[in-house]
Amino acid sequence: MKKLENKVAIVTGAGAGMGKAIATLFAAEGSKVIATDISQPRLDELKKIISETGGEVTTLLANMAMEEDIERMIKLATDTYGTLDILVNNAGIMDNFEPVGELGNATWEKVMKINVEGPLKAMRGAVKLFLAKGNGVIINICSIGGIKGGAAGAAYTASKHALVGLTRSTGYMYSKSGIRCNGIAPGAVNTSIGETIDMIKITPLVNDRIITGMALNPRTGEPLEIANAALFLASDDASFMNGHILVVDGGWSAY
């Protein structure tokens, strides 16, 4: 039997990278997938791939910075499939590695809105459904930026630390309600998130304190390696895991 047979999963940021790999793998394992992204062409490509392999997917153009889009996403799951079993908060953006003294308000607000407020609002909607049915799974993509201080700039680091805290709080608070909430902290992964970085804004301080640390990274991971971790957390194989942050970084953070 497939690991996610007849489950309904939402995967945000599903148009590329880790989100695409997670959505594709979940569909292959029997889940009906609601895939959201800010790029319609990427969603169209994802739908083609999943449909051609016999999977089931419904796509939605959505921006995690927009509360109405998040509400539409949750509603689409219940309207289309009558329920929701799994929420994967994958969508996110980087900063430009700015330390706090170089960080502008606009960057801070944008990063926090997408990386923290978006997942929070999606989790809030999902938890209401999960409480009514007595079970549900949330997986937050937290990044090693959520457990280290020098893997990214101040805004991204703060946003992912906040997401780690939100994950642990949610896992603990609802642990007697049949709800599991865990996070994955990927290291460097071959994805499109680099598109959100303006390399022109990399300063000498960033080169000295952050970029040099990148040399410790043993290798770049592939999206499927993160998707496999997400599948484990979404499945009954992880039935006794809750409020945990699973580091998947090839050993980078072990230094």
Q: What interhelical angle do 105-112 and 154-173 show, nearest 10?
A: 30
Q: Which two tokens stand for residue 62?
A: 């959505």
Domains of the chain: 8-247 (3.40.50.720)
pLDDT at 8 over 80: yes
CB atoms near residue 135 (< 10 Å): 11
**pLDDT digit string (tens) for 99-156?**
999 999 999 999 999 999 999 999 999 999 999 999 999 999 999 999 999 889 999 9
pTM above 0.85, yes or no: yes
- Choose the catalytic residue: 81, 156, 172, 255: 156
What's the rounded Cα separation, in Å, for the pair 132 and 134?
Answer: 6
Q: Is 81 part of the annotated catalytic residue set?
A: no
Predicted pLDDT of residue 216: 80
Question: What are the E-state strand segments in the chain?
Answer: 8-11, 32-37, 56-61, 86-89, 136-141, 179-186, 245-248
Kindly state the average pLDDT of the residues 152-172.
97
Q: Which of 17, 63, 18, 61 is nearest to 41 (CA)?
A: 61
